[in-house]
Structure 1
Amino acid sequence: MQLLNVLEWAHTAYRGDRPEGAGEGSGDLTVVVLPPREAMTRGQLRRMAELARDEGIAVRWEEARGGAGAPLRTVASLLGPLRRAERIVVGDPFSRYVQLLLSLARTEGAAPDVPGGVVVVDDGTATMEFVTQLARGERLVRWHRKGAGGARAALFAPVSASARRRMTPSAHRRVEVFSSMPVEAPEHVPVVRNDFAWTRARFGPPALTGGTDLVGTSLVETGVVDPERYLEAVASLARAHGATRYFAHRRESARKLHRIAAGTGLEIVRPDLPLELVARRGPIGRTILSFPSTVVHTLPLALAGTGVTVAVCDVDPAWLTEGASPRARGFLSGVTGTARGVRRLPSAPPAS
């Protein structure tokens, strides 16, 4: 999703579509991909990298997690480009790897009248939390994480603080957020609206199946929602709305997906691209159901004018695990409450 939003940002920045005063796009763009080990995400990233190359963007595939010496080799190979870059585009400001690289970058202008630049492109609901923490001057911590992070986080704290400073605007540093999420950035941090113009121009409109599709989430995998309650909610929604397909989140486990298929009869679909592109290419259901997640904000934009209805089901507080972050309930409610162009559904009752 981060890479898709880099393409959306480039479409806006380099084609003269930016709002007045939002800065100018110029120069060459190189995308550096730091792939994880997880196979499904790697596959999606390779497909997205192909699309980026089709758009004339240079892509560097860096196996930064490929062994004991990989991090040092990656940092060494990127140090020169980072120091020379006029602007740094960040996909995940919470990533420790990204924070390390950002702490090594030159984000201030070479002269007093030439401000440097950092652009944070959309990473879904994480972007909402990032902007809030940036405005408050807080340490960057993902919303679903509980506690201070232990000794490892303490050791990394100086690097994280350095990265946070580089994402704070100054007289010689411009910081910008490019997002489709409802964010209120701090003063002097402009927010450029991502309306998925590139996606709509590049794909679709999709053929509609006339049925209902259900979108999965990683709320179980991140320890926020109890797995049994989640399975009950999926079964209830599928039964009530006649859903036939379940689009799996890339982090959902095979065991969990097997239980969903066996218990509901839903066809499990593992997308090879971000759901916004899969839906835009079609075929897609006339109704798409989701729990609170990024897609309740992005799909209405990507599917504008297609006749598709996006509906969001609230998460009952009783579904939350004991280990869920204290912020989880309010954050999930905020994700749902700020979604525009979607239909609200109550928490799913237990399946009978």
Structure 2
Amino acid sequence: MTPPTEHLAFVESPVQLLNVLEWTYARLAEPPTGAPGGAPRAGAHGTPPTLVVLPPTDPMSRGQLRRMAGLARDEGLTVHWQEARGREGSLPHTLRALAPLLRRADHVLIGDPFSRYVQLLLSLFPPRRLTVVDDGTATMEYAERLSTGERLVRWHRRESRSPRELALAPLTALARRRLAPGRGRTVEIFTALPLAAAPPGTEVARNAFAWTRARFGPPRVTPGADLVGTSLVETGVVDADRYVGAVAALAAAHGVTRYYAHRRESTPKLHRIATETGLEVVRPELPLELVTRRGPTSRTVLSFPSTVVHTLPAALAGTGVSITVCDVAPEWLKASAPPRARGFLRTVAESARAAHGLSLTGA
């Protein structure tokens, strides 16, 4: 008889994979024998998770995921790369391939509770123990949606009553129940983000990026400033001209020389930023928490409201690097931007100021 899988993790992005490694380190590691305070050893308190990578189709994400998968193998995790998108018959094939793992899993870790793939898997194979790790700001929304009983729809997506959404409505409703604590099911949220609310019975655990700090750095800190880009233009929230103008203004005001591109930013937009501002545009090969921890990193890192205004203060703690939040002005938003856009971006910025004492700047 095949033994049960103690921990099974599904990841669809590089950041999700990073946070599974952080969970593994926080939950299953201990200092080596005879070396108190040394670098912990993964797996000392349990078997590391079996990791299933469900890669997206865009090349940037796939490249980062492959590099992160290599780091996961180095930490003792078993990695399965499962092509679940973009191919005819990929869904049935994926379900057949993953069914044995899911049936044996006592504990499942996921990164994106809004993912249709994850919702389908949890609906078919509900786990007894569930951990949700960060994937962007989705964790904040997930906790809020479960607390209020709202549908699991991201802030930048409009509510839709299309035939497809109507057909998926029963799945979404079932997934919401499976993603909440209940009889015979526990839910843990492992997060670096401050949660305004969490469903009763949910355990919230702090992700302090201990694995990142133990494995990388500290970085060499250089003068000047770096600017972290965002995909708000690509998601239809912010006007492209306004955004490029803001980047130029921030670069001039703060002495920015390097622009870290979000993995979903378009090549034409990045080319425009490089030519109009003179900034060095860098497409990171790993999540930014690892890139900045490895260095070199500028003394000031500026970022628009996103997860990194909460994760970088933890990853770069004690390095002397300061993080500044760049406000998104109301006039930058497109007329077609979702109604919740302004409020959500403001919440991310203000919560970072409150939690980490970050300064706020405008373009």
Structure 1 residue 149: Cα displacement: 5.2
Query: What TM-score does the superposition give when structure 2 sets the normalisation length?
Result: 0.89
**AA paired with 2:283?**
R
Per the alignment, residue 93 of structure 2 pairs with: 73
Find the aligned partners of 2:185 and 2:48 in 1 and give their Cα distance. Answer: 20
Structure 1 residue 28: Cα displacement: 4.7
Q: Which moved more, 1:335-344 or 1:257-266?
A: 335-344
Question: Do the aligned partners of 2:189 and 2:205 also contact (CA within 8 Å) in 1?
Answer: yes
Matches within 5 A, 1:34-113: 34-107=54-127
Find the aligned partners of 1:105 and 1:31 in 2 and give their Cα distance. Answer: 17
Find the aligned partners of 2:318 and 2:165 in 1 and give their Cα distance. Answer: 46
Per the alignment, residue 3 of structure 1 pairs with: 17
- Structure 2 counterpart SS, 1:102: helix
Find the aligned partners of 1:124 and 1:147 in 2 and give their Cα distance. Answer: 20
Query: What TM-score does the superposition give when structure 1 sets the normalisation length?
Result: 0.92
| 1:103-135 deviation line (CA, Å, top 9, x unaligned) | 11132xxxxxxxx20111111211111110011
1:346 equivalenced with 2:357 (yes/no): no
Percent same amino acid among aligned pairs? 61
Structure 1 residue 286: Cα displacement: 0.5
**AA paired with 2:361?**
P
**AA paired with 1:200?**
R
**AA paired with 1:347?**
G
Q: Which moved more, 1:260-269 or 1:177-186?
A: 177-186
Per the alignment, residue 172 of structure 1 pairs with: 184
Structure 1 residue 27: Cα displacement: 4.1
User: Which runs of no fewer than 5 residues in structure 2 stay unpaired?
Assistant: 1-14, 32-44
| 1:22-69 deviation line (CA, Å, top 9, x unaligned) | xxx744511111111100000000000000000000110001114111
Structure 1 residue 342: Cα displacement: 4.9
Question: Do the aligned partners of 1:145 and 1:325 also contact (CA within 8 Å) in 2?
Answer: yes
Per the alignment, residue 20 of structure 1 pairs with: none
* Residue of 218, 231, 254 corresponding to 1:241: 254
- Structure 1 counterpart SS, 2:298: coil
- Structure 2 counterpart SS, 1:286: strand
* Residue of 234, 246, 251 corresponding to 2:264: 251
Per the alignment, residue 133 of structure 1 pairs with: 145
Find the aligned partners of 1:28 and 1:179 in 2 and give their Cα distance. Answer: 19
Per the alignment, residue 203 of structure 1 pairs with: 216
User: Which runs of no fewer than 5 residues in structure 1 stay unpaired?
Assistant: 18-24, 108-115
Q: Hey, which of these two has a bigger chunk of strand by percent?
A: 2
- What is the root-mean-square deviation of aligned Cα atoms in Å? 1.5
Aligned residues: 334
Question: Do the aligned partners of 2:224 and 2:254 also contact (CA within 8 Å) in 1?
Answer: no
1:161 equivalenced with 2:173 (yes/no): yes
**AA paired with 2:216?**
F
Find the aligned partners of 2:30 and 2:237 in 1 and give their Cα distance. Answer: 41
